Amino acid sequence: MRSAWTGVWTGIRVGTRTEAGARTGTSTRTGAATGTATRPGAEPQTAAAPRAGAPGQAEPILDVKGLAKRYGKTFALAGVDLEVAPGETVVITGPSGCGKSTLLRCIVGLVQPDAGRIMFEGRDVVALPYREILGIRRKIGFVFQRFNLIARLSALDNVALPLVGAGVPPEEARERAQRALARVGLSGAVARRRPGELSGGEAQRVGIARALVTQPVLMLWDEPTASLDPILVGEVLDVMEDVAKAGDTAMLIVTHEMKFAARAADRLVLLERGAVAEEGRPEDVFANPRSGVGRKYRRLLQQ
């Protein structure tokens, strides 16, 4: 079981962790990372608004500075600064290709950035050796767009897997997995089914239970409803909102569901061409968008 779980992460790992020395420093809130990318036409970032649901002066659990990543001529990230407070819910959105997934993948060490730092609980993920990255991942839940469940395992065993991989005895792991499944509204026979026997909404809720089961301090969600039939989107958004309201886990959610963002997010961050174009409380961004991308997303909310 341990090797299967390790394989889930290592199998999708991108890049190497040998480039840590290539970092060239950090950027200011308005600039791109030193010596990396510039972003022509970028509008200035606005200061972060006070966070409604998050402890005011708490040390950020996640503090990203000057994060840059280039693929050939494409600047996937061009100097991103982002802080997340303990328990805070931050929604990230922006046009396709603006770097949302790359940002999340850098945070869990799946992609090695070219520049910048990612402080998680006070340690720089970018500079950590791979062995220690695995320890960090146990504290960060990741919900993918396409579920990424293991087809030959039941829903229950999929959820128990990260615990078993971390050395929790199988009996205890299954009990905790049952509780995580109940938290996302799945119990009874559904827990014994394999992913191929679940609806898209159920499969995604299993994916959420798997991310929740380790009681992460930070959860990253990469378009968790994008693969779902519109009818099933609502059931997954409800689960996400419940987790956000529980307030014990900080959440960084990539989604285009602006009504959800307006309801559940403490802060909305708009990315454009690899950098933050605008951020603030959703109600402030939607009432008075300052960037072109902000105005576009306001129109989405009004539809």
220 φ, ψ to 5°? -110, 130
Closest approach of Mg ion to the CB of residue 286, in Å = 22
Residues of this chain, 26-85, that bind ligand ATP according to CB under 6 A: 71, 74, 76
The one segment of 39-47, 100-108, 151-159, 260-268 that binds ligand ATP by CB under 6 A: 100-108
| x/- letters, 6..25, toward ligand ATP (CB under 6 A) | --------x-----------
Contact 139, 217 (CB under 8 A): yes
Name which position in 100, 176, 267, 273 contacts ligand ATP (CB under 6 A).
100
Measured CA angle at 244 (ends 178, 67), to 5 deg: 110
In this structure, what is the dihedral angle of CA atoms 184, 188, 190, 191, given to the nearest 10 degrees? Answer: 80
What's the burial of 96, exposed, middle or buried (CB within 10 Å: 0-12/13-18/19+)?
Answer: exposed
102 forms part of the interface with ligand ATP (CB under 6 A): yes
Query: DSSP characters for 223-248?
Result: STTTTS-HHHHHHHHHHHHHHHHH-S
Closest approach of Mg ion to the CB of residue 172, in Å = 35
Number of residues that bind Mg ion (CB under 5 A): 2
Site of tokens 């014990």: 248
On the CB side of 300, CA atoms within 13 Å amount to 19
Closest approach of ligand ATP to the CB of residue 183, in Å = 27
Closest approach of ligand ATP to the CB of residue 93, in Å = 9
Distance CA 67, CA 80 (A): 5
The one segment of 32-40, 93-101, 154-162, 185-193 that binds ligand ATP by CB under 6 A: 93-101
Please give the structure tokens belonging to residue 218: 């930070």
Residues of this chain, 84-113, that bind Mg ion according to CB under 5 A: 100-101
Nearer CB in complex with ligand ATP: 98/186: 98
291 forms part of the interface with ligand ATP (CB under 6 A): no
Binding interface with ligand ATP (CB under 6 A):
14, 71, 74, 76, 96-102
